[in-house]
Amino acid sequence: MSLIYEPEEDSYLLSEVLKEETLELIKTNKNLKFLEMGCGSGINLQIALKLGIKKENIFGVDINKDAVNYCKKIGFNSVQSNLFSRIKGKFDLIIFNPPYLPENKDEDKESQLVTTGGKSGSELINKFLKQSKNYIKNNGEILLVTSSLTKGIKWNNFKKKKLETKELFFEEIYVWKIRI
């Protein structure tokens, strides 16, 4: 069985920002389409539902088959996909708490799948940002978690705003709001 990413400080930080940001979006869009990339344990899928996003408009994606199966078991539309490779349609809100740490050769391979974003930590984020342009609606938003240890993020033509910062003992984690 693969490791399903259990909520940690970064998940909870994203959840708090999601609560703040989504309420305003739902007021203006009753049919908000929501996608969580890297849905893991489904914590933010559940929060999206509690916030009032219609269940049929909530979608989870994970590369980990066990995470997808778990999210399906708790009642959410979920698909196994490497980023957007098996995703169709456009979304009003996409959230992603990606593996964002730089490669650590001492970390075991299974753990690296949920923590490591590539050699500098940004490789997966950069692929996500490049692909996301095809899946975000006009005026759509992306909430993205990164770390002070993540180097080399290519923001391209996105407008970004740091919404929240949390200091941990060896890094800071950030939640960004991103728009095209």
- 3 in a domain, yes or no? no
- 165 in a domain, yes or no? no
Place of tokens 């539309």: 77
Task: For residue 44, give the CATH number of its domain.
Answer: 3.40.50.150
- 169 in a domain, yes or no? no
- 155 in a domain, yes or no? no
Domain count, the chain: 1
Q: Which helix (H) or strand (E) holds 116?
A: strand 116-118
Question: Considering the entire predicted model, what is its pTM?
Answer: 0.93
The mean pLDDT values, 10 residues at a time, for the chain of 180 residues are 73 93 83 95 95 96 95 97 96 94 78 77 95 94 96 93 93 94
Q: Is 18 helix (H, G, I), strand (E, B) or coil?
A: helix
Instruction: Give pLDDT, residue 2.
Output: 60
- 158 in a domain, yes or no? no
Print the domain residue range for 30: 9-149
Instruction: Give pLDDT, residue 127.
Output: 96
- 177 in a domain, yes or no? no
- The answer to whether 82 and 67 have CB atoms below 8 angstroms apart is no
Q: Vertex 171, ends 167 and 177: CA angle to 5°? A: 70
- 163 in a domain, yes or no? no
- 127 in a domain, yes or no? yes
Q: Strand (E) positions, the chain?
A: 34-37, 58-62, 77-80, 91-96, 101-102, 116-118, 136-147, 159-167, 172-179
